[in-house]
Amino acid sequence: MARGYPDYQSSREPSIAYQTVWMDDFEAPGLKWLRGIAGGGTLPVLSVAQSWKGLQSAYLVVGAAAADISRILKYFPLLSLGRIGIELFTFLSNVAGAYLRLYLVIYDGTNTSAAELHLDQNARTATIITPAGPIVVATFAFPLVAFNMFVPVKLVVDMNTDRYVSLLIGPDAVDLSTHLLVAGPASNQKLLEVNIELVGAAPGGSTAYVDDFILSQNEP
């Protein structure tokens, strides 16, 4: 498959370019993530209402307030420092101001750094958070609501340089290599923290389905 496209299928096959570390298709019997909420958020569950493949996906629900959050969270051991990828498919409701937040924290044994991606179905944008603030890196990234569907997303970051590398969203590839990750406090921990959370907004309740998550290493 061309590298300009998210490679959810090919990443399940042997590759000398990169390696799948862990993947989750969100099928029964249970959710393999920690769960969290804030405000009027609802604890995530497995749902048969929507799925990219198989029968189920993770289902996140929040109320009509910016403080409402529904989150899945997982910790991984620190991988060999280099380029890693976070991949998923998502189906988002169309509510102004609400977004799906992908938040990756890297603990390298000395310092912490964070990559943050906001996916907004209503605005049809993808936004990264950098030391300079939020930057919209993709427009028209989601279909109009009449054609709402699962959209593939892959974020690649470099743990050696503490930089974003690229974003693959739908058929589009975006070069992010000029943007730094956000530096955090010192820490002697060695791990990766992956948060996927739905953040609410005042116009109304929001939902998100997440499917086919993959963590990969040795990304080009």
- On the question of pLDDT at 46 being above 50, the answer is yes
- On the question of pLDDT at 18 being above 90, the answer is no
- 148 found inside a domain: yes
Q: What is residue 54's three-state secondary structure? A: coil
Give the 3-state DSSP-derived string for 115-149, with helices as H, strands as E and coil as C: EEEEEECCCCEEEEEECCEEEEEEECCCCCHHHCC
| Structural domain for 143, as ranges | 20-202+211-217
- 101 found inside a domain: yes
User: What's the whole-number average pLDDT of the chain?
Assistant: 91
- 60 found inside a domain: yes
Taking only the tens place, the pLDDT of each residue in 60-73 is 999 998 889 999 99
For the entire predicted model, the pTM comes to 0.90
- On the question of pLDDT at 4 being above 80, the answer is no
CATH number of the structural domain spanning residue 68: 2.60.120
Q: What tokens were used for 48?
A: 């048969």
- 9 found inside a domain: no
**How many domains does the chain contain in total?**
1
Taking only the tens place, the pLDDT of each residue in 117-145 is 999 999 999 999 999 999 999 999 998 87
- On the question of pLDDT at 203 being above 90, the answer is no
- On the question of pLDDT at 186 being above 50, the answer is yes
Q: Tell me how many degrees the CA angle 210-211-213 measures, rounded to the nearest 5.
A: 105
How high is the pLDDT of residue 58? 97
